[in-house]
Amino acid sequence: MQQTISAAIDIGGTFTDTALSIPGRTDLITAKNPTTPQDPTLGALEGLKAALTQADKQAEELQRFIHGTTLATNALIERRGAETAVITTEGFRDILEIAYERRYSQYDIMLQKPDLIVPRSRCFTVKERLNVHGEILTPLEQSSIDAVIKQIDASGVQALAICLLHAYANPAHEQQLRTAILKRRPDLYISLSSEVSPEAREFERLCTTVANAYLQPLMVEYLTRFELEFKQLGLNCPILMMTSSAGMTTLDTARKFPIRLVESGPSGGAVMAAKVASQSQLNKVLSFDMGGTTAKLCLINDYTPKTARNFEVNRAARFIKGSGMPVRIPVVEMIEIGAGGGSYAGIDRLNRIIIGPESAGSEPGPAGFDRGGTIATVTDSDISLGYIDPTLFAEKRLTLDQGKARKAVEETIGQKLALDTDKAAYGISQIVDENMASAGRMHAVESGVDISIQTMIAFGGNGPLHATRVARRCGINKIVIPPNPGVGSAVGFLDAPVSFEIIRSQYSLLNSLDIDSINQLLEQMLIQAREVVSCGAPNAELVSNCSAFMRYHGQGHEIEIPLNGEQLVAEDLGELLEKFETEYAFQYSRIVPNMEIEILNWAVKVTTQESVSEPLSAVNQRQNTNSAETRSIICDSTSEPVSASIYHRSNLKVGDSFTGPALVVEPQTTTLVSSDYQAHIDTALNIIMTKKEQ
């Protein structure tokens, strides 16, 4: 728990979650209220007031305040950003149009490419050219600046993305251009590729710059208003913003780089899981966050969520890779599939059960919600199988109609495949669980890890319900369900460090590396990152990590190798080689002797030093618990009816042990303890499920 009074607010698409941590209290105070899409700040104010009232505290007493929002993600998906224009180097007007020259779906001849926000009519060019080393081949021509300003005026845009070739190696032309334009048009929001994403690969760099420029007017306005409203409520500590990379940043940085605010909710969930992993000393974890529309899986190695430098905004249906807009920002790497409680079930023409990606959302919701839905969803299958208590759902705000759920399952699947309702519901479960497990296995393969030795940490409204079923299909034998699994992201915000990460390209071959020039580069990057972090955490102790992205000459994938310190010395090179080979051998079984090694990118990450979690004390004594309350459910491994014990999570104490089949009920979710699992409660009140010995 934090040593300060801290509040976290996560504004999601449907709900706004608030979590409040008070020193001296072991539990968190949480609130969940509907998001107010017209003015999200209102819902956030409501949530905080409700939590403060419960805790009997005032806004003035808050010492830490963290905010995450889906606003940036949604603005990109729903295309609610500003009119934006692009300026690139002469001869390269079509970086967006040409993109990867590729169709994301092999057999789909009717496919439409992702909409990359800026049409060709608003893509302008200026005469200038740098080479790969950042040396000027053609100086930036004044007359072309004048011409481009006229084009910008005529286009009526509010925001501008500037991305000149090789600007990552030398930002001078981009900066000159910005200065010249701002002199004439001080009202424009301008994003430079050399600041937003200084990495080689012009297409992704431009996309990232476009997305940033597109979001900036909207997010600046939103953040400014949010800050004002909360100040008026009495908040007098700074507001920190949750980013996509499991860290927080200041409002000022958020205004400058709003693109880094996308996917902050899921990244909060990963922080929460990492914290649980660290307390429980679990160094290989797969987090499993299943909500209403999607499931997200993330690998957490040594208490650190796996990060990536790529993210795709707004993938087309079925979450196909390559069907979205690529942005290069530091993100927690997750695999996301269209499988949630609300995902629709159906039958394809091969008579196969298919699940999602379309979802019933909150309106009409699953058929069992009795709000007019008639198509079976995953939740309807779970209700039909008896896993969800109709009277104890969603803090009793909603009584489920088991009859309607069963009817939907029968009509959507049962009749068409000549299966009785239980078997049809079981079929839906088998397929959706296999889909999620398959996504997890694929993610593990792509990351070079063995999924079966991971521990699963499950949360989200449906994660605890499907955890054993997905784990079994991945060969995973141990599952942790943390407390407050329904508001995992907001809980995660409370534990996130203030951090900032910068990645820059400077191409070098390992055996002819110019150490001085790399050291200069690293130093500049560190200064910049420290400045950002210090603003958000003025007196905190900072930690920095530098790394190199290395690959064999000509290979497509780089491997991130940590550096020893902040500066390279000659002796480090041998060690870099050694670390690269070790990591390469680990991921691909063997190294390639005598192959030249190249380094494309350098990264620095500065973060506040977080107190190391105390390992949990062991459970001194386990006591077998029993429950008088039982319900008949369909066993998820044999498909036969069995009697499951019902436990209420709030009544479970440290050391309580029980065996499946059982259901653990709490306000926002239910944990299914399958018949081949046993469970106990650890000293942090996590539910620990382990596979029974066969």
Interacting residues toward other proteins by CB under 8 A: 91-94, 97-103, 106-110, 112-113, 119-121, 131-132, 137, 165-166, 200-203, 348-353, 417-419, 423, 426-427, 430-431, 434-435, 438, 441-442, 445-446, 475, 507, 552-557, 587-590, 592-595, 600, 639
Q: Which is nearer to other proteins, 545 or 637 (CB)?
A: 637
Q: How far is the CB of 179 from other proteins (least distance, A)?
A: 24
Smallest gap from Cβ 428 to other proteins, in A, equals 9
Are 340 and 295 within 8 A, CB to CB?
yes
Q: Of 543, 551, 662, whose CA–CA distance to 605 is shortest? A: 543
- Residue position matching structure tokens 């078997």: 423
State the minimum distance, in angstroms, from the CB of residue 267 to other proteins.
Answer: 24
Min dist. Cβ of residue 462 to other proteins (A):
20
Which tokens sit at 290? 């299943």
Nearer to other proteins, 140 or 273 (CB): 140
| Choice between 352 and 622, CB closer to other proteins | 352
> What is the three-class DSSP state of 54?
helix
Query: Which one, 527 or 595, has the nearer CB to other proteins?
Result: 595
Distance of alpha carbon 600 from alpha carbon 349, whole angstroms: 47
* Closest distance to other proteins from the beta carbon of 126 (Å): 14
**Tokens of residue 439, six digits:** 């996504």
Q: In 385-462, where does DSSP find H-type helix?
A: 402-409, 415-417, 421-446
Residue appearing with tokens 């046993």: 678
Q: Can you tell me whether residue 126 is helix, strand or coil?
A: strand
**C-beta of residue 365 within 8 angstroms of C-beta of residue 461:** no
Length of the chain, in residues: 694
Pick 233 or 320: Cβ nearer other proteins:
320
- Residue 384 phi/psi, 5° resolution? -65, -35
Q: Which is nearer to other proteins, 589 or 611 (CB)?
A: 589
- Asked if 455 and 662 touch (Cβ cutoff 8 Å), the reply is no
Secondary structure percentages of the chain, helix, strand, coil, to 5: 35, 25, 35
Query: What's the closest the beta carbon of residue 599 comes to other proteins, in angstroms?
Result: 11
Q: Which is nearer to other proteins, 53 or 452 (CB)?
A: 452
Closer Cβ to other proteins, 59 or 437, answer by number: 437
Sheet of strand 630-634: strand arrangement: 630-634, 641-648, 662-666, 669-673
The rounded distance, in Å, linking the Cα atoms of 217 and 309 is 24
Rounded least distance, CB 424 to other proteins, Å: 9
> Rg of the Cα trace of the chain?
26
Closer residue to other proteins, CB minimum distance, 429 or 484: 429
- Give min distance, CB of 347 to other proteins, in A: 9
Name the minimum Å distance from CB 382 to other proteins: 16
**For residue 514, what are its two tokens?**
């110019």
Nearest one of 306, 381, 319 to 346, comparing CA atoms: 381
